[in-house]
Amino acid sequence: MNDQSDSICALSTPAGRSGMAVVRVSGEKSFQIVRSIFSPAKHFESPPARLAMLGRIVDPVDGSVMDEAVAICFPSPHSYTGEDMVEISLHGNPVLVATLLDFLCTCGARIAEPGEFTMRAFLHGRMDLTQAEAVRDLIEATTRRQAQAAAMQKSGTIALQLKPVKERLIEIIANLESAIEFVEEDLPLRSREAVVEQLRGLQDNLGKWIDSYRQGKIIRDGFSMAVVGSPNVGKSSVFNALLAQDRSIVADAPGTTRDLVSEYANMGGIPVRLMDTAGIRQSNDPIEQLGMERSQQAIADSDAVLLVVDSSQQPSSEDVDLRNGIELRTCIIVVNKCDLPSLWTLEQMERFADRLPLVVVSAKTGSGMEQLRAAVFNGIMGTPAGWQDGIMVTNLRHCRCLENAKEQLERAASALIGGMSEEFALTDLHEALKSLGEITGDTHVEDVLAKIFANFCIGK
């Protein structure tokens, strides 16, 4: 970790040419450094707080003017980092930005490390770890739903949800600590049962958050889906219809797609990597065989599969073999070409799909495509319980901490049920509290002491 007493600077808007660029400076000497390279149009005895100042950026060596700019000063602790900070807006020319950063470094700043502004915000108590992590998620979001999930986390939702659980756990720890310190006898059986019941309730709460990670991971990272089928069933047409663009070549001749074609799409606010695969059939053509090998690999690697069949042709052995090969995967049967006379009966469709979702579409006319998108979203996301309860864990680190805490609570409950000393249970409970604290970056010793001694009478 670099010296946190340094003043740091960096471009905070995307690199490249733009109408405007914003350069940030943060640290104890940031006002002094900016004063060396920025000449305000209006004289100020001291930099006004949170007031836009028009001025010029000048060379600190010879005083030559580089550009007109606007500077805003944010005195500590009311800034993004919690330190004195300045934001300089100038014309978005990479040469001007590089020159300004060079001026700032000449006057005593250094270029910030990746994420260092947000790290300083955490170290100065401006945000917890979950909020700091959400900053990156918000910047990298590619869909509205991803941005909403990141914004919810950045607002401190996780810390608010964890607070009553941690408070309840601290109360249990305080009671057990008091039993050890101030009572010579062990807890009576009924008291142990009451503590275990409280621990079970906490485990249930943590279990809900852990279960929400399956949906949260998909929202944060997206998922992949392979479009598969035998040749000439319209896989590429379905692929293009889902993308709403002609990405794959479509032709009447079977075997047109011989290599894997992939593209990203947005389905219900979830980023999905769609993969158009080569048709799978018996063939002696080495190039076609290579394409089919890649199709099989795409099926193995994908999170979900669209199995496309042609309703204008009789069910083939290739269709049946594919259906049997992906039965245990998240799969949707897509009966394509419903704009043509169907040679499949409704009974054949239902028997072929068995327990899998089935959607009848025409990629050519667009019929049924909205139903297919809804089926994909519902199939991959499952029930929307996480959204309804306001519980959504999107970060693997958070999930691992919750799993550790839940396991430690289980061990503590087992120790109490087994008649072991309270010290054994307390060891696990402290570890559980530590695991929960790792999520937000909290410390807990002061919390436990405050809770224990708050119940003392005055003078003790």
Query: What is 8-123's CATH topology?
Result: Gyrase A; domain 2 (3.30.1360)
**pLDDT band (50, 70, 90) for residue 406:** very high
In this structure, what DSSP letter does residue 42 have? S
pTM exceeding 0.75: yes
- Encode pLDDT of 36-66 as tens digits: 999 999 888 788 999 999 999 999 999 999 9
**pLDDT band (50, 70, 90) for residue 361:** very high
User: CA of 52: how far to CAs of 19, 29, 31, 86, 147, in Å?
Assistant: 18, 19, 14, 10, 29
Separation of alpha carbons 402 and 438, rounded Å: 10
**pLDDT band (50, 70, 90) for residue 355:** confident
- From first CA to last CA, the distance across the chain in angstroms is 44
**pLDDT band (50, 70, 90) for residue 199:** very high
**pLDDT band (50, 70, 90) for residue 447:** low
In this structure, what DSSP letter does residue 258 have? -
Pairing of strands 53-58, 38-40: antiparallel
**pLDDT band (50, 70, 90) for residue 423:** confident
Kindly state the tokens that stand for 423: 């010290």
Share of the chain above pLDDT 90, in %: 43
Pairing of strands 65-74, 53-58: antiparallel
Rounded to an integer, what is the distance from CA 111 to the centroid of its chain? 28
Question: 126, 124, 151, 155: which is closest to 136 by C-alpha?
Answer: 151
Query: What is 222-381's CATH topology?
Result: Rossmann fold (3.40.50)
Torsion of CA 150, 155, 159, 164, to 10 degrees: -120
Give the count of alpha carbons within 13 A of 115, CB side only: 13
Question: 230, 233, 227, 256: which is closest to 343 by C-alpha?
Answer: 233
On whether the CB atoms of residues 352 and 315 are closer than 8 A, the answer is yes
Count of helix runs (H) and strand runs (E) in the chain:
16, 13
Written as one letter, the residue type at 328 is L
On whether the CB atoms of residues 101 and 48 are closer than 8 A, the answer is no
CATH number for the domain whose boundaries are 144-216+391-454: 1.20.120.430
Separation of alpha carbons 193 and 414, rounded Å: 11
**pLDDT band (50, 70, 90) for residue 460:** very low
Domain boundaries, the chain: 8-123, 144-216+391-454, 222-381
Torsion of CA 363, 368, 372, 378, to 10 degrees: 170
Separation of alpha carbons 98 and 104, rounded Å: 10
- Per the DSSP assignment, residues forming a β-bridge with 224 are 273
Q: Evaluate the CA torsion angle 267, 270, 274, 280 in order and state its sign.
A: negative
CA-based angle 370:376:377, to the nearest 5?
90
